[in-house]
Structure 1
Amino acid sequence: MTAAGYRVAPARLDTVAGEFGSRAGSLETAQKAVAGEKVPATAFGQVEEAKAAAKTFEKTMTELGSKLESGVSRLRTLQNGLTASAAGYRRTDAQIAAMYRALMPEDPLPKAGNPAGIGGSADTGAWAQAIAANRTKVTDALTAERSRLASLTDADEIKRSQARISLYEDILANNRQILKFDPSGNGRIAELVGHIEPGTRNVGLFVPGVNTQMSNFDAYAGLGRSLVAADPTGRTAMVVWADGVFPQNPVAQGPSASYAEAMAPDLKNFTDDLRGEIASHAGSDVTLTAIGHSYGGATVGLAETHGLDVDRVLHVESAGMGHGVWSPADLPASQAGVQRYSMTAPLDPIEVAQGNAWGLEWTGIGHGADPDTFPGVTDLETGRSASGDQLWGLSSHSDVLKPGSESWTNIYRVMTAGPVTLDGTFRPDGILEHGVEFLNDGGVLR
C-alpha cells in the first residue's frame, strides 16, 4: 500500500498462487499416502488388545487424512482466488486501456520517437485493437491453463501445459503483439515481431510445419525475433503465423494435403489484411516475403494457388510446392512476378516427400513438385551451422533455422534483398562431409 492507495502487482499474485499450488501438491501427496495406509489387526500381535489398537490406528489415519484433505482444499481455494484476482486486474487494465484508446482520434499525427505504426502506442487501427483484445484472451487462457495444470498427471501433458503457461506469461510481461489467438485444441496463434511503421522496408511472414502447436510456438517466434534483431536499421518486421490446424505426426498425417488445403485460404486472407496494414502504416514500397518451413512450405505453395499477395516466397526444407502444383502453369497469373527461393539440407528426410507423389495426388496425398528443382526457383545453400558443422541429415531439418548458420543468413538476405549463397558452393572438409555431398549430389536421394 502507498500513500495514494493500493498498488497491485499481478505478477506477485501469480508467484504466491504458484507457491500455494506447490504446497497443496505436497499435502496432496501426503494425503494419498495416508489414505492408502492399511494395517491389519494381526500387525499388533495375537492378543485381544490388538483389535483395539488397530481401530485406534485406523481412526488416527482417517482423521489425519481428513485434516490433510481440508488443508489441500484451503490451499487450492487460495491459489484459485489469487490466480483469478491477478487475471481480473490484468483484464481490467486491458479494458481501461482500450477505453482510453477509443477516445483518441483514429489517425493521430505521429510524434518523434512514437511512430503511428502497428505496435506503436499511437496506433488505434484494427490490428492494434486486435492486439489489445487478444491480451485479454491470453490473460483468461493463463488462468484456465493454471487450473488445468493442477489436475494433470501425464508427464507429457504437464510439460506442454507448463510451456503454454510460460508462453502466456511472457506475452503478458513483454507486451507481445498477438494478432490471432485461440487456445482451444492444440492452439492457434499469430504474432507480429517488431513494428510496421514509416521506414519499414521488409516484412517476413513465417509459416511453420508439422507438430506446430501452442506449446512450441515460442521457438518459431524466437526465429522471428532473431531476424528482426539482425537488421541494425530497424527496417525489418516479422509475422509468425500459426493460425491453423497443423499435422502432428510426420508419418501418419504429414503426407496428407488436407491440412494445407484448409489453411491456405486463411493464410491468403490474412496476407491480404497484412498488405492493407503495411500500406496504411508503412507505404506501398515494402517488400513482403513468405517463408514456409517443412509442411509450412506446402501450405504457402497452396496459398499461392489462391493468389497469395507476396513479393517473394522462400521454401525452407519444404515438403513441396503445394498439392497439385507441378509447373508454373499450375499457378494463377497473379503469381507471375513472385521471386521464389528454396533450400534443403543434404539428406534431410523431407526429400522423400519432395516431388514424389505422382499418381497418388487423387487420394489427397502429396505436396506437388520439389521446390529445389521447380522452374524459376533459385536454389540456395544451407552450408554450415554457427559452430562450423555441416548441416545435413535429420537434425538439419530444424537446425537450418538457428541464428548464425549459413542457412539462417540466407533466409535473412532473401528477406532484405541481400547477396545470397547459391547451392553448390559448399566446400566439404573431411571424409564425412565429402560422403554426404557425394550422396546428395549423386542423385541417390534427389
Structure 2
Amino acid sequence: MRPTIPQLDTWNLEGLHRAGEAARANADILSNSVDDCSRAISAAGSWYGQTKDAASRRIDEEVDHGYEVRTVLLRVADDAEDAYQGLKHAKTYVLEQKSLAVGQGFVVAPDGRVTHFDPEEEGAAGVFQLNLLSGLDELERLDNLFGARLRESMGDLGAMRDGQPDITLVDGSMRDPDAVAIQLASMSPDDRATFLAGLSPEAQRQLVIAAPEKLGNLNGVPFVMRIEANEINVRNALTSEKAKPNRDESRVKQLEAMLAPIPNPEGAGTLDTTAAATGETATPQLGMVDRKFVMFSTEGNGRMIEMVGEMKSGAPGVGVYVPGTSTNLNGSGSNHVAAWNLADQTGGPIFLYMEGDFPQSLTSLSDGAPSPKFAADMAPRLVDFGREIDREVGATAPGTPVSYVGHSYGGSIVGSAEQLGLRADRILHASSAGTGVFDTGWNNPNPSVQRYSMTAPGDLIGVVQSYPEGGLSIPGAFTIPGNPHASAELGGDPDEVPGVTRLDTGFYSDTSRNHPTEVVFGTDGHGKYWDDPRSTAFQNIVGVIEGSTATAYVERGIETPYVDIGLGDNGDGGKEGFDAAKAAAAARLAAALGNPDLDPYADPRITDNADPGRTIDIK
C-alpha cells in the first residue's frame, strides 16, 4: 500500500514492534519447552522397552516439529522488527520533509507533489517533491515486501499446525521434507542442484524450514535457499548463545549485527569502517537490505561466506575476497565493510570467504601464520565453492568474470586453491603470504586466467615472500626458516612469478584516517589500504574485479629518519630483511629510552620515482 501523507501521519507502528517481541518471546518459550522435554526423556536411563522406544520416537517428532514452529516464529519476529524499523524511519523522513517544505512556504499535496506561488522557487519545490516521493516509494516497497513475508509466514504456521506438511516432488509424489533433506545430504552437488531445480518455490521453502542446518551449507543448493536457511541458522545461533549461562557477549553482538539490515551497496557511497569494526549496526536510511550468508557455522572461531550485493545480469564482475591472519567471526566487521565497499564500487556481488579457521597468531609456528595447515584445509573448500559460484553465474549472469582476491594469509589460500584446480578469470594476490602450500604450479582450468599481485614497500610480508620454501643457510652463521607458503615450483613471491602483472599499492587518499595522501608503506602498508576505499591499492582491487583499469607497479625509493628503502630492495630477501631489522632495532631502542610508541615507518618521504604508475587495462 502506498499511503498519502495525511494517512501516514496517523500510522501507529508500535503495535508492529510489540508483535515482533511477542513472536520472539513465544519462540523462546517453545524452544525451552521442547529442550526440557528432550532432556527429560534422555535422562530416563533406567527405563527400557517398547514403551520407552515409542515415547522417544514420538518426543523426537514433536521436538523436531517444535523447532520448525520456532523457526517460523523467529522469522515473524525478525520481519516484524525489520518492517517496524524501516517503516518508522521512512515515515519520519517523509513527515520531516513535509514540515520543512511547509515551513518554507511550499504547498505539499497529499500525494507528495510540491508547489510554490513564486516561480523562482520551482527548483527547490522539485527537490522537496523528489525527496517526498522517494520516501513514499520506500514506504510502499517496505509495506509490500514485509506484508508478503508476514502473510507467507502466517500461512506456514497454519499449515504446520499438526506437523510439517509433505512436499510435492517432481514426479508428483508426496514426501516428508525431513526425509528429503536427508536424501539431499547424500547426493553429489550436481545431482542436488538438478533435484532442487525440479521443485516448486513452495516446496523449496518448506525444505528450508524443515532442515535449515543441512541446507545452509550444502553445495548444489541454490544460493537463494542457502541464504534463507542461514538466516534461520544465525537466528537460532543467537537464541542459543543468549540462553547460555556464560554467554559470549562478543558473539551475541556479532550475530545481532548479522541479522540487522545494512545500506544497499548499490550507489550508497562509502560505508564507514568504524561502526562495523566495533559491531555497531548501521544507521537506518532509505533502501536498507538484509545481509546474505551462503554459509554459516559456529564451529571453531566461527565461519561464514557472506554475499554482499546481488548476483545479476549486467554486473561487470563477481569478486571473492579471502582475508588473512586473525580473521574470525566475532571480529569480521572490518572485513564486511571492505567487501561492502568493493560491492558498492564494482556494482557486482562480493563474497567474503571465511569457510574455515584462520590463524589467530602471527608468530606461532604450529598454530599461527607460519603454519600451512589452515591454507591446506581451506583450499579444497574454496575450489568446491568456486564451482558453486560458477553454477550461480551460469544460471543468473552467464559470462560474468569471476575474480579471487587473497589478502595476506588469504593469498596463500587462494594460491593453494589454484594449485588444486580453482577456476577463475582473474586472481589478485594482495600483500600475499605466498603462492601456495603445495609443491606444484597453479592448475587453473581457465587457460586465459589473468594474474595480478601487489605488495607495499616495507611491508614485512615481503621478507617472507622472498625466501624459498627450504629456507636460506648462511655458512658459518645461521639459517633463516623458509616460507611455508612457497610452492617449490613457483617460489614464494607472487610479485616475481612469470605471467603475474604487478600492480602499485601507490598512495592513500586525502580522506584516509591515518595516512592522508601518504605513500602506502611499511607495516601499515600491509592492510590499511583496505580501510581506504579511495586509495590506489583499493582502486586496483576494484579495477581487477570489474575489469576496468589499474595502476602498474612503480618501484620507489622511500625513507624515514629510521629506515631507508632504496631502489632494488623490493624482492631482494637480504635487503628486505636488513631494512626490517633496522626498523625493529629503532623501535626497540626507542622503547628502551621511554618511547614505546615509535613507528619507524612514520612520515615517509619518497626519494625516487614519486609519480603514479601508468594506467593499464584489465580485460
Q: Does 1:367 align with 2:485?
A: yes
Quick one: distance in 1 between partners of 2:517 and 2:14?
A: 58
Quick one: distance in 2 between partners of 1:213 and 1:128?
A: 24
Paired AA for residue 383 in structure 1: G
Equivalent position SS for 2:349: strand
Deviation, 1:301, is 0.4
Quick one: distance in 1 between partners of 2:401 and 2:418?
A: 16
Q: Kindly indicate whether the alpha-carbon contact (under 8 Å) linking 1:318 and 1:344 is maintained by their aligned counterparts in 2.
A: yes
Q: Kindly indicate whether the alpha-carbon contact (under 8 Å) linking 2:415 and 2:434 is maintained by their aligned counterparts in 1.
A: yes
Equivalent position SS for 1:214: coil
Equivalent position SS for 2:330: helix
Aligned residue number for residue 353 of structure 2: 241
Quick one: distance in 1 between partners of 2:309 and 2:155?
A: 21
Equivalent position SS for 2:393: helix
Equivalent position SS for 1:296: helix
Deviation, 1:239, is 0.9
Aligned residue number for residue 226 of structure 2: 130
The equivalent position to 2:153 in structure 1, one of 86, 90, 96, is: 96
Quick one: distance in 2 between partners of 1:10 and 1:335?
A: 53
5+ residue gaps in structure 1?
Answer: 17-82, 108-124
Q: Does 1:348 align with 2:459?
A: yes
Equivalent position SS for 2:520: coil
CA deviations on 1:250-295 (whole Å, 9 max, x unpaired) are 1111111111111111000000010010010011x21110000011
Q: Does 1:210 align with 2:210?
A: no
The equivalent position to 1:322 in structure 2, one of 436, 439, 461, is: 436
Q: Aligned pair in 2 of structure 1 residues 5, 164: CA closer, same or farther (>3 Å)?
A: closer
Quick one: distance in 1 between partners of 2:154 and 2:459?
A: 48
- The percentage of counterpart residues that share the same residue type is 28
Q: Does 1:381 align with 2:504?
A: yes
Q: Kindly indicate whether the alpha-carbon contact (under 8 Å) linking 1:10 and 1:90 is maintained by their aligned counterparts in 2.
A: yes
CA deviations on 1:376-407 (whole Å, 9 max, x unpaired) are 11111111112201211222222121211110
Q: Does 1:397 align with 2:406?
A: no
Q: How many residues align?
A: 348
Equivalent position SS for 2:359: coil
The equivalent position to 1:420 in structure 2, one of 547, 550, 555, is: 550
Equivalent position SS for 1:289: strand
Q: Aligned pair in 2 of structure 1 residues 208, 10: CA closer, same or farther (>3 Å)?
A: farther
Q: Kindly indicate whether the alpha-carbon contact (under 8 Å) linking 1:439 and 1:445 is maintained by their aligned counterparts in 2.
A: no
Quick one: distance in 1 between partners of 2:255 and 2:387?
A: 29
Deviation, 1:366, is 0.3
Q: Aligned pair in 2 of structure 1 residues 132, 439: CA closer, same or farther (>3 Å)?
A: same
Q: Kindly indicate whether the alpha-carbon contact (under 8 Å) linking 2:424 and 2:449 is maintained by their aligned counterparts in 1.
A: yes
Aligned residue number for residue 122 of structure 1: none
Q: Kindly indicate whether the alpha-carbon contact (under 8 Å) linking 1:347 and 1:440 is maintained by their aligned counterparts in 2.
A: no
5+ residue gaps in structure 2?
Answer: 1-10, 26-69, 80-148, 160-166, 168-198, 205-220, 263-280, 282-287, 473-480, 487-491, 510-515, 578-619
Backbone CA RMSD of aligned residues: 4.0
Aligned residue number for residue 7 of structure 1: 16
Equivalent position SS for 1:133: helix
The equivalent position to 1:445 in structure 2, one of 570, 576, 588, is: 576
Bigger RCO of structures 1 and 2 (CA < 8 A, at least 6 apart): 1
Q: TM-score, normalised by structure 2?
A: 0.50
Q: Kindly indicate whether the alpha-carbon contact (under 8 Å) linking 1:380 and 1:421 is maintained by their aligned counterparts in 2.
A: yes
Equivalent position SS for 1:392: coil
Paired AA for residue 153 in structure 2: I
Quick one: distance in 2 between partners of 1:407 and 1:282?
A: 28
Paired AA for residue 300 in structure 2: G
CA deviations on 1:406-441 (whole Å, 9 max, x unpaired) are 10011111112222111116586x866993455844
Q: Kindly indicate whether the alpha-carbon contact (under 8 Å) linking 2:75 and 2:232 is maintained by their aligned counterparts in 1.
A: no
Paired AA for residue 130 in structure 1: R
Paired AA for residue 406 in structure 1: T
Deviation, 1:133, is 0.6
Equivalent position SS for 2:227: helix
Q: TM-score, normalised by structure 1?
A: 0.68
Quick one: distance in 2 between partners of 1:275 and 1:222?
A: 24
Q: Does 1:151 align with 2:269?
A: no
